[in-house]
């Protein structure tokens, strides 16, 4: 079981908005460490989606947004598209060691 | 283009050793820390180990501490992971990734990975 907890799965219809939560504790997210998000399409390497809680790398659509509050963080995807179907992982630090959430599978209905 | 290419994976018996390599190109290698992240078949991501720009600071997940050693050769733009006393639970696709940021690093980009299978 991961120290960062994500829902195993979420789903939404095209055009809808979905959110993925990442719940930590006072020793990781709550300690002030930033949260980052990755998208992993089937059969490919993970790709950086959000860094520093809410920043999008160049090339990532503004449909993707991140936020952090207290001991949790969230990834929001608006205007859901079929190509968004993938696994999503949050990442932060605990005692100066990197750690990932367990991952969330997004299904576009 | 920034590129990371892993090699060295294969099938090894429990208790055996393997050395993974990651060749970096398209960026100034010794400006960045680097990490190894693995993914067991059908499972999530697990950070394995990280190293700072000059090799002077390293970190390991508890699951591999004492068995794995990360190193780098900046002259060869290469990252390594020496894996000893391998166990079945070490079976995974091993990715190398470039560290970015200052305190709370993120990983960008990632290599495609090299598969390690530990089986008798």
Give residue-wise pLDDT tens across range A39-86.
999 999 999 999 999 999 999 999 999 999 999 999 999 999 999 999
pLDDT of residue A28: 95
Decide: helix, strand or coil at residue B29: helix
A97 in B contact zone (CB under 8 Å): yes
Which chain A positions have a beta carbon within 8 Å of B108's beta carbon? 48, 51, 57
- Nearest chain A Cα distance for residue B14, angstroms: 24
pLDDT of residue A96: 83
**pLDDT at position A21 over 90:** yes
Average pLDDT of each block of 10 consecutive residues along chain B (120 residues)?
97 98 97 97 96 95 97 98 98 97 91 97
Indicate if the alpha-carbon torsion angle B69, B108, B52, B31 is positive or negative. Answer: positive
CB count, 10 Å around CB of A85? 15
Task: Bin B62: left if φ > 0, else alpha if -120 < ψ < 50, else beta.
Answer: alpha
User: What is the β-pairing status of strands A104-108 and A9-12?
Assistant: parallel
End-to-end, the C-alpha distance of chain A in Å comes to 28
Q: Which residues of A touch B104 (CB under 8 A)?
A: 33-36, 52, 92-93
């Amino acid at each position: 079981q991961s120290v960062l907890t994500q829902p195993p799965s979420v789903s939404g219809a095209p055009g809808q908005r979905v959110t993925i939560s990442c719940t930590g504790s006072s020793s990781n997210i709550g300690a002030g460490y930033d949260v980052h998000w990755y998208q992993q399409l089937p059969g490919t390497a993970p790709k950086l989606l959000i860094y520093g809680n809410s920043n999008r790398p160049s090339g990532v659509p503004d449909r993707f947004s991140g936020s952090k509050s207290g001991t949790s963080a969230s990834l929001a995807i608006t205007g859901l598209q079929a190509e968004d179907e993938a696994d999503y992982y949050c990442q932060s630090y605990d005692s100066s060691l990197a750690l990932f959430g367990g991952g969330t599978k997004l299904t576009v209905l | 283009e920034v590129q990371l290419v892993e090699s060295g994976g294969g099938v090894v018996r429990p208790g055996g050793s393997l050395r993974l390599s990651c060749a970096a190109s398209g960026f100034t290698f010794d400006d960045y820390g680097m990490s190894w992240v693995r993914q067991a078949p059908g499972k999530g991501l697990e950070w394995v180990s990280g190293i700072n720009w000059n090799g002077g600071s390293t970190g390991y997940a508890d699951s591999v501490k004492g068995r794995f050693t990360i190193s780098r050769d900046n002259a060869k733009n290469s990252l390594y992971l020496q894996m000893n006393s391998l166990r079945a639970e070490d079976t995974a696709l091993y990715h190398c990734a470039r560290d970015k940021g200052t305190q709370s690093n993120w990983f960008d980009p990632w290599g495609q990975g090299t598969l390690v299978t530990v089986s008798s």
